Structure 1
Amino acid sequence: DLKFTEFLDPRVKSSLGEENMIFYPYDARQLQDILEHRAKKAFRPGALSPSVIPLCAALAAQEHGDARRALDLLRVSAELAERENATRVTERHVRKALHKIELDHVAEVIKSLPLQSKILLLAMIKEEREKKRQGLKPSMTTGEVYERYRQLSKRLGVESLTQRRIADLISELDMLGIITARVISKGRYGRTREIEISTSSREIIKILQNDDTVNPLIIYGGKGQMRLI
């Protein structure tokens, strides 16, 4: 935080003798150098397709320029290739690794959500699926989501929050990247939020299926199919 010292007591600042240092993110070339250095120690010659390291470096540079991210991407790519008994790591493994890392991150975020947010998320999935079943656009309003949320809360025997509080939780899920919620104009009817789920609803249900707090809302069908009550 570059403004950290602005909040310090003047006496603390005077004795601190601070010096600002800015650590810039790595670019793709620097990340590639780091990966090549590590790869020489970790992999036998020919184990990586020529495009693997440049791709890992480019993908990591596009995000935060984080060396750990680039190394994780290379590591998971190699693990996936090993599971397939592949003779070498390819771009396909890198793409799959990127998806897995992102999904694992989303899973950790969803698992850590409070109960009310989990119920709310399942309410959104139920509303989305109902709209798709009717051939409608899957986006939904705060009011529609709130009604679904109240239904699921009642089934769980959990006291419902107010619509204002649910609106706050929707904003939090939006900030986490699990959903997108944008304000749209309804003309003379005012403004509302249009909500869409950013993460695969199927994956969200799979993540929550072992959560005892919301598990009663999930029904298991044949062939591993899962749906909501």
Structure 2
Amino acid sequence: AQDHVREAQKVIERDAITITVKTLPMQSKAVLFAVYVLASKGQSDIFTGECFNVYSEIAKALSLDTLTQRRVSDLISELDMLGLINTTVISKGRYGRTKKIKMAVSKKQIGAILDDDTRLNKVAKDIMG
């Protein structure tokens, strides 16, 4: 019976993540997609700056207004609070602070959800080749 409970919990968590991602505003999806792209390229340490650069490409491709780096950093924090990514603040001394970002849910699952989004799917093919 324990196994059934565990299995059910996994399914519920997976569904909750799917709903969370699908209901995100497009800008947040674009930021999450940027993290996903970098993680898919095998990058283990993803920093705010790189994430912002990829996000900018995605925003342009989706004809979205490109947000400021400050605003993207806020969206990264929101995605962290939603449990979709994990962030660690790193101090770079006088060069300020940056966030180190990791995917908190499986890339496969996020990939499948983003695949379902027709606008993102088209952009994914262009950006990820």
Matches within 5 A, 1:63-212: 91-130=2-41, 132=42, 138-212=44-118
Which fold has the larger relative contact order, with Cα–Cα distance below 8 Å and residues 6 or more apart in sequence?
2
Alignment match, 1:223: none
Question: SS of the residue aligned with 1:194?
Answer: strand
- Greater percentage in helix: 2
Structure 2 residues not aligned, in runs of 5+: none
Kindly indicate whether the alpha-carbon contact (under 8 Å) linking 2:30 and 2:58 is maintained by their aligned counterparts in 1: yes
Note the C-alpha offset of 1:157: 2.4
Secondary structure of the 1:153 match is helix
State the Cα distance separating 1:188 from its structure 2 match: 4.4
Contact map agreement 1:182 1:193 (CA 8 A) in 2: yes
Cα pair 1:115 1:213 within 8 Å, conserved: no
Task: Using the TM superposition, give the Cα deviation of residue 196 of structure 1 relative to its aligned residue in structure 2, in angstroms.
Answer: 0.8
Deviation at 1:153, TM superposition (A): 1.5
Q: State the alpha-carbon separation in 2 of the partners of residues 169 and 98 from structure 1.
A: 28
Q: C-alpha displacement at 1:216, in angstroms? A: 1.1
Query: What is the count of residue pairs matched by the alignment?
Result: 128
Structure 1: distance between partners of 2:36 and 2:116: 17
Partner amino acid for 1:147? N
SS of equivalent residue, structure 1 residue 170: helix
Larger-Rg structure: 1
RMSD: 1.8
Contact 1:156 1:216 in 2 (8 A): no
Query: In 2, Cα distance between the equivalents of 1:189 and 1:162?
Result: 19
**Cα distance between partner residues in 1 of 2:97 and 2:110:** 29
TM-score (norm 1): 0.52
Partner secondary structure for residue 181 of structure 1: strand
8 Å Cα contact 2:33-2:114 kept in structure 1? no
The TM-score with structure 2 as length reference comes to 0.88
2:87 is paired with a residue of what secondary structure? strand
% identity of equivalent residues: 42
SS across alignment from 2:66: coil
